[in-house]
């Protein structure tokens, strides 16, 4: 198949492109290289079935496609808050351009949505039927509401124009090829541990997250895309739930570093707890995360050790 991956030079996108190439598809990666990099796909650039098109998805584009994975969007709070207007535009305009392309070509369209659509949730663990608790005017809103609107667009194109859609709600995912300056917690802690710097815990570190290794997530995305009828929204993630302090302790144990832990202010609207209910993904997609946190962290530490 001809598969288009927007954001394909990013952390998750590069692993997805690699998987799709290995499955024998032709892959067109569209990326403006704002938070992704050519280095993430360097090993694919010479492949005859891989093309990198440097382009901003807020501008229209055309390419023949059977499948469109829409991942283009900065995912780390520090990056998506640099230019929040652009973040909204990337989510909304980017989704419209991808969905129009799907409408014209008949391609199936998968939206990389997020657990952030649940905001600071008062239902725990989060099930797909929960409509969330998002502050629409806070500093995270450009991302959270942008992603919520992208979901709306998917379902409106589906109902109004019969576009074949898939919506995945991705929970915190980590692994090799996160950028060292990404700013998300797993890469921050590992980079800090390896550099001998104190690990920065925001707030008391009692907030929780559920961390999914990137290979497991990519498997879920492909399963959803290729499912004949399931459109979602469907949670994809690893339900193992850890406090941020526990994560810091695991990273220190794995790196053998004796770094200090320092506390920094908790960012505004930081969700207190986050755990996916993946019953639906398990039953309809046969999705099952296989890589436990300790093993995934070990692989990610090895990646950063090589690079730093």
Exactly one of 25, 28, 36, 194 binds ligand NAD (CB under 6 A); that residue is: 36
Exactly one of 61, 130, 155, 202 binds ligand UDP (CB under 6 A); that residue is: 202
176 vs 11: CA distance, rounded Å:
8
String marking each residue 109-148 x if it binds ligand NAD according to CB under 6 A: ---x-x----------------------------------
Q: From its phi and psi, is residue 179 left (phi > 0), alpha (psi between -120 and 50) or beta? A: beta
Query: Is 80 annotated in the active site?
Result: no
Contacts of the segment 61-65: beta carbons below 8 A, 24+ positions apart:
61/30, 61/97, 61/101, 62/101, 62/104, 63/2, 63/4, 63/28, 63/30, 63/101, 64/2, 64/105, 65/2, 65/3, 65/4, 65/28, 65/101, 65/102, 65/105, 65/107
Closer residue to ligand NAD (CB): 7 or 125:
7
Q: Which does 188 bind (CB under 5 to 8 A by kind): ligand NAD, ligand UDP, none?
A: ligand UDP
Q: Which does 74 bind (CB under 5 to 8 A by kind): ligand NAD, ligand UDP, none?
A: ligand NAD
Exactly one of 27, 71, 141, 224 binds ligand NAD (CB under 6 A); that residue is: 71
76-115 residues in contact with ligand NAD (CB under 6 A) are 90, 94, 112, 114
Helix axes 293-307, 185-195, angle to 10 degrees: 50
The C-alpha angle with vertex 31 and arms to 26 and 32, in degrees rounded to 5, equals 155
Tell whether residue 28 is a contact of ligand NAD (CB under 6 A). no
The residue count for the chain = 308
What residue ranges bind ligand UDP (CB under 6 A)? 76-77, 172, 184-185, 188, 200-202, 207, 209, 244, 267, 270
Q: Which residues bind ligand NAD (CB under 6 A)?
A: 6-7, 9-13, 31-36, 56-58, 71-75, 90, 94, 112, 114, 170, 172-173
* Active site positions, annotated: 143
């Amino acid at each position: 198949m001809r598969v288009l991956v927007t954001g394909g030079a990013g952390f998750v996108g590069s692993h997805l492109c690699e998987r799709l190439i290995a499955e024998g598809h032709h892959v067109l990666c569209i990326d403006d290289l704002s938070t992704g990099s050519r280095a993430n796909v360097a090993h694919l650039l010479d492949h005859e079935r891989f093309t990198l098109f440097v382009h901003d998805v807020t501008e229209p584009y055309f390419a023949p496609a059977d499948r469109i994975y829409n991942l283009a969007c900065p995912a780390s709070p520090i990056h998506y808050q640099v230019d929040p207007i652009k973040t909204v535009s990337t989510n909304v305009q980017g989704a419209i351009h991808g969905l129009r392309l799907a409408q014209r070509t008949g391609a199936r369209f998968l939206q990389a949505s997020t657990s952030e659509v649940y905001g600071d949730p008062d239902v725990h663990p989060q099930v797909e039927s929960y409509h969330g608790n998002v502050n629409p005017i806070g500093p995270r809103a450009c991302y959270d509401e942008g992603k919520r609107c992208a979901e709306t667009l998917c379902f409106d194109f589906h109902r109004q124009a019969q576009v074949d859609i898939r919506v995945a709600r991705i929970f915190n995912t980590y692994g090799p090829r996160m950028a060292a300056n990404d700013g998300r917690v797993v890469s921050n802690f590992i980079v800090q541990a390896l550099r001998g710097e104190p690990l920065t815990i925001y707030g008391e570190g009692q907030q929780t997250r559920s961390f999914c290794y990137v290979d497991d997530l990519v498997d879920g995305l492909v399963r959803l895309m290729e499912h004949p009828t399931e459109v979602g929204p469907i949670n994809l993630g690893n339900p193992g739930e850890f406090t941020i302090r526990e994560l810091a302790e695991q990273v220190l144990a794995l790196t053998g570093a004796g770094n200090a832990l320092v506390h920094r202010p908790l960012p505004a609207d930081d969700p207190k707890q986050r755990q996916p209910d993946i019953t639906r993904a398990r039953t309809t997609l046969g999705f099952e995360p296989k890589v436990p946190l300790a093993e995934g962290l070990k692989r990610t530490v090895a990646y950063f050790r090589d690079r730093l």
